Structure 1
Amino acid sequence: MKFTDIFISKPVLASVVSLFIFLLGLRAATELNVRQYPELENAVVTVTTVYTGADADLIQGFITTPLEQEIASADGIDYLVSTSLQSASSIQAYIRLGEDPNEALTQIVAKVNKMRSELPEEAEDPTIELAVGQNIASMYLSFSSEILDNNQITDYLVREVQPKLATVNGVQRARILGDRTFAMRAWLKPERMAALGITPSEVYGALQQNNVLAAVGGTKGSNVALDLKAATDLNTTEEFERLIIRSEDNAIVRLEDVADVELGSESYQSSVTFNGKQATFMGIEVATDANALDVIEEVRGILENEVFPQLPEGMAGDIPYDGTEYIQDSIDEVVKTLIEAVLIVIAVIYLFLGSLRSVLIPAIAVPLSMVGALFLMLLMGFSINLLTLLAMVLAIGIVVDDAIIVLENIHRHVEEGLSPYDAAIKGARELAWPVVAMTTTLVAVYLPVGFMGGLTGTLFVEFAFSLAGAVLLSGVVALTLSPMMCA
């Protein structure tokens, strides 16, 4: 008895095998992550050093260059990108694909700590941050107002909106862009300072000494316990203006004498506009192991039901960018293409064979192979993205070949006078090894693409293995289900 005879003589076994493939594929479809592109371990380690008051040349010579030379000796770094600005140095170390980002981070931290004693004493300690995955958020939100300024918008987003969105399951971070965090700004007057003999360091020292938070403690009696608090910090513009900078010979110089004090922003270096209006953006970054479609759908529900209806009067919210729309459009196109391909296959087979019964065999084989390929994708840790969807589209024309070949050979024996059962036995025996050879050849053609190195190999590994998996399952279906249905 040949291998194919088992499934022809025992149709229940063939049906169970096909149902097993189909149900595993359906289950995998609910578990697979959905993203725009395959996951790339493009980790970036950012080293930021603040040196207040230093110009870009000083930052470059005494901070950026020494740190660059030391960080470059760490293992696993592909290349470095550095930026030297007024009062700040930023070095980005891009980790080579395939390297462990945590191991590279450990080495970079050790290198930076080694150089700390050689940096200027006035410079702050370098801060090191590791970012893994894409830098583009899955959704961007815009908030603007003709009544409120950006400081007030930022304050509202931090208190009310950001906590709601950051706690959504699957959201990695809700990052505010173009934010203007409240800060007390003292704009010094050089003419007044020169006339009074005041230096910027005196102003800075007075702010440090007089605007502090002190922990006093508490007192406890037999029946009463009190917490003590020293009001040593300044909270209003008026309190800052009355801050004493210098006091000598009954002459007092206050901060308002040498500076304009206002409640402003921590930084004015960035600005965001939307439709020509000043705005504050918020980027919703989805975790790498989360389903982007489900996460963004939940975020949209919170925005429409909780955030947008409760915005303060005069504030408007909008969604300028939603990356999941492109993903959903791609999925819809694949489904549309799959339906069109199945209809074309049915029409062609009917025209050549003239039998509706024969049409059902490849019409079932195509979606079965495609759905079963989803289970193989889940086993290999892949996701539903543009490249795996492209593999599915290409696989439509390939997976149908095996079923059509088996069908036509069995149909030929039926036309020669054999019963459907005998024709299925004979036809399947004749094409068992040719189908195996054809399937193996196609798999061998696509698999090497997945073993390419570098960025290209990382991108196309999911494409190649998904396509090869669908072809492999088409061969299984052609040797099990198709002969049984012909019989």
Structure 2
Amino acid sequence: MNLPEFSVNKSVTISMLIMIVVLGGIVAFFGLGLDLMPELEFPMITVVTKYEGVAPEDIENLITKPVEEVCSTLKNVKSIASASEEGTSAVMVEFEWGTNIDFAAQDARDALDRIGMILPSDADDPMVMKFDPSQMPILVYGVTGMKNTMELRDYLEDSVTPRLERIEGVAMSMALGGLEREINVFVNRTKLEAYNISLDEIIATLRAENLNISAGQVTKDYTEYLIRTLGEYKNIDSIKNTVLRKLGDVPIYIKDVAEVKDTHKERRHRTRLDGKDSVIMMVAKQSGANTVNVISKVEKALEEMREEMPQDIKFHAVMDQSNIIKRIASV
């Protein structure tokens, strides 16, 4: 019995098979992920090294050139490009197509570990990052409100982004921009000279005092307790009352030679939305997750949090990939 004859004689069976295939196709269609960009893995890595407060020329000589030399020894390197800016070195390494980028990134990390002694000791460790379009943000909000952007950013990082990261499909949520808190110690040079105290002594004292140190364990009644000495500063007064040294029986405090202020880091960038200072909040999805569904869940979660938030906080969608995907899918 050939296929045409079987199809005619077993019409009910064939109809059932066709229905199963059609239903399977419909289910698979609605289960397809929607994404703006296909999942591609470009054979490229970027080595970023931070060295705050250093000029571009020094960044190039001290960091960029040694990193370039190390990266040039990696296998299957096609080209190397770099950019040296104030406080930042970025080296882009492109590999031949077909190179396993995970292995290449690990080889780069191992090679960079070997030049750790050559790089400046106060520079940050080099970060090796792969170029992955799927890790780009799918949703970007401009957020305004509260007294200032420092309080706004703290609120977002403490109360909003952690809850968004618990949503299924969300890989990362972070806040950028705005003012960042910084404690400044303004030293009075005249008073330092009067007490014969050096700036290095102040730095060393503050570094040594601002530590939590483990003091071992104590066992009592079959229970082991971890003992720690808590020395990290909790407030401004703790810093002011730090003892630098003693002159006889009289202690010299930080407040005797310096002014301590609770302020913010130097502003090098400004984020504004509709003429107001703002904070940027970005959301990235997990690889393979449905972009439209993830954004829908994020918007629903923000709406649920609305009752708990200060009334003046406003979220403005700056970039929403779901809108683009829906327009493309409807064409």
TM-score of the aligned structures, taking structure 2 as reference length: 0.82
Aligned-partner SS, 1:230: strand
For the residues of structure 1 that align with 2:95 and 2:192, how far apart are their CA atoms? 49
Counterpart in the other structure of 1:328: 326
For the residues of structure 2 that align with 1:123 and 1:239, how far apart are their CA atoms? 28
Higher Rg: 1
Measured after TM superposition, the shift of residue 174 of structure 1 is: 0.7
Counterpart in the other structure of 2:314: 316
For the residues of structure 1 that align with 2:117 and 2:240, how far apart are their CA atoms? 38
For the residues of structure 2 that align with 1:173 and 1:303, how far apart are their CA atoms? 15
For the residues of structure 1 that align with 2:78 and 2:307, how far apart are their CA atoms? 47
- 1:294 matched to 2:293? The reply is yes
Aligned-partner SS, 2:48: strand
For the residues of structure 1 that align with 2:137 and 2:164, how far apart are their CA atoms? 13
Q: Deviations over 1:315-364 (max 9, x none)?
A: 2233232110110111122xxxxxxxxxxxxxxxxxxxxxxxxxxxxxxx
For the residues of structure 2 that align with 1:129 and 1:194, how far apart are their CA atoms? 47
Structure 2 contact 139–284 (Cα < 8 Å) conserved? yes
Distance 1:38-1:228 versus aligned 2 partners, 3 A rule: closer
Distance 1:119-1:215 versus aligned 2 partners, 3 A rule: same
Aligned-partner SS, 1:148: coil
Structure 1 counterpart of 2:328, which letter? S
Measured after TM superposition, the shift of residue 285 of structure 1 is: 0.5
Measured after TM superposition, the shift of residue 164 of structure 1 is: 1.1
Structure 1 counterpart of 2:116, which letter? R
Counterpart in the other structure of 1:372: none
Residue range with higher mean Cα deviation, 98-107 or 323-332: 98-107
- Mark the runs of 5 or more structure 2 residues left unpaired by the alignment: none
Residue range with higher mean Cα deviation, 213-222 or 130-139: 213-222
For the residues of structure 1 that align with 2:242 and 2:15, how far apart are their CA atoms? 86
What RMSD over aligned residues (CA atoms) do the two structures have, in Å?
A: 3.6
Measured after TM superposition, the shift of residue 34 of structure 1 is: 0.8
Structure 1 counterpart of 2:298, which letter? V
Structure 2 counterpart of 1:47, which letter? V
Aligned-partner SS, 1:309: coil
Structure 2 contact 135–285 (Cα < 8 Å) conserved? no
For the residues of structure 1 that align with 2:310 and 2:190, how far apart are their CA atoms? 42
Measured after TM superposition, the shift of residue 3 of structure 1 is: 7.3
Between structures 1 and 2, the one with greater strand share: 2
For the residues of structure 1 that align with 2:15 and 2:147, how far apart are their CA atoms? 66
Q: Percent identity?
A: 20
Structure 2 contact 43–99 (Cα < 8 Å) conserved? no
Aligned-partner SS, 2:74: coil
Structure 1 counterpart of 2:41, which letter? E
- 1:155 matched to 2:150? The reply is no
Aligned-partner SS, 2:318: strand
For the residues of structure 2 that align with 1:271 and 1:187, how far apart are their CA atoms? 25
For the residues of structure 1 that align with 2:166 and 2:44, how far apart are their CA atoms? 25
Distance 1:223-1:102 versus aligned 2 partners, 3 A rule: closer
For the residues of structure 2 that align with 1:48 and 1:203, how far apart are their CA atoms? 31
Structure 1 counterpart of 2:165, which letter? A
Measured after TM superposition, the shift of residue 30 of structure 1 is: 2.9
TM-score of the aligned structures, taking structure 1 as reference length: 0.58
Alignment of 1:452-467 (within 5 A): none
Measured after TM superposition, the shift of residue 81 of structure 1 is: 4.2
Q: Deviations over 1:384-421 (max 9, x none)?
A: xxxxxxxxxxxxxxxxxxxxxxxxxxxxxxxxxxxxxx
Structure 1 contact 151–180 (Cα < 8 Å) conserved? yes
Aligned-partner SS, 1:208: helix
Structure 2 contact 79–95 (Cα < 8 Å) conserved? yes
Structure 1 contact 43–132 (Cα < 8 Å) conserved? no
Structure 2 contact 37–134 (Cα < 8 Å) conserved? no
Aligned-partner SS, 1:116: coil
Residue range with higher mean Cα deviation, 46-55 or 231-240: 46-55
